[in-house]
């Protein structure tokens, strides 16, 4: 059985979980190389155009203790994506729990 790719699936109205490599280099909260963000844009745009509801997840560096979470936030990536996609990208700083679940439930077709 051949592997399916995103274009093989009817996406309209479906919630699509996308694991992206957004482990971008940053200095003082500013992205210094956005290549991996740019590389993900065709897939993200395709899902948006097809009416999918996109949940992107990634990581940034290694969180060893609670204090690392503030410095290793993906919020700058969400802001960069908002600019590149010319649409709001909702950033949820949690990886599980009610806040994340509610944000996913509130997604409309084409939302990221």
Over residues 16-65, the pLDDT tens digits come to 999 999 999 988 889 999 999 999 999 999 999 999 999 999 988 777 77
pLDDT in the model for residue 68: 64
Query: Tokens for 79?
Result: 């802001």
- Ordered by where they begin, the domains of the chain are 15-106 (3.40.50.1260)
pLDDT in the model for residue 72: 78
Q: What average pLDDT does the chain have?
A: 91
Contacts of 20 (CB under 8 A, 6+ apart): 36, 40, 56, 57, 58
Query: Tokens for 78?
Result: 């969400």
Burial letters for 12-40: b for 16+ Cβ neighbours within 10 Å, e otherwise? eeeebebebebebebeeeebeebebbeeb
SS3 track for 4-69: CCHHHCCCCCCEEEEECCCCCCEECCEECCCHHHHHHHHHHHHHHHCCCEEEEECCCCCCCCCCHH
Rg (CA), the chain: 15
CA distances from 77 to 8, 46, 86 (A): 28, 19, 14
């Amino acid at each position: 059985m051949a592997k399916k790719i995103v274009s093989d699936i009817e996406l309209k109205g479906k919630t699509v979980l996308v694991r992206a490599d957004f482990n971008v280099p940053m200095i003082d909260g500013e992205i210094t190389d956005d290549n991996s963000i740019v590389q993900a844009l065709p897939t993200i745009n395709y899902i948006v155009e097809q009416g999918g509801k996109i949940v992107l997840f990634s990581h940034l560096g290694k969180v060893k203790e609670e204090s690392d979470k503030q410095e290793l936030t993906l919020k700058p990536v969400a802001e960069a994506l908002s600019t590149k996609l010319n649409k709001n990208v909702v950033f949820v700083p949690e990886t599980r729990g009610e806040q994340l679940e509610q944000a996913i439930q509130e997604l409309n077709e084409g939302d990221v």
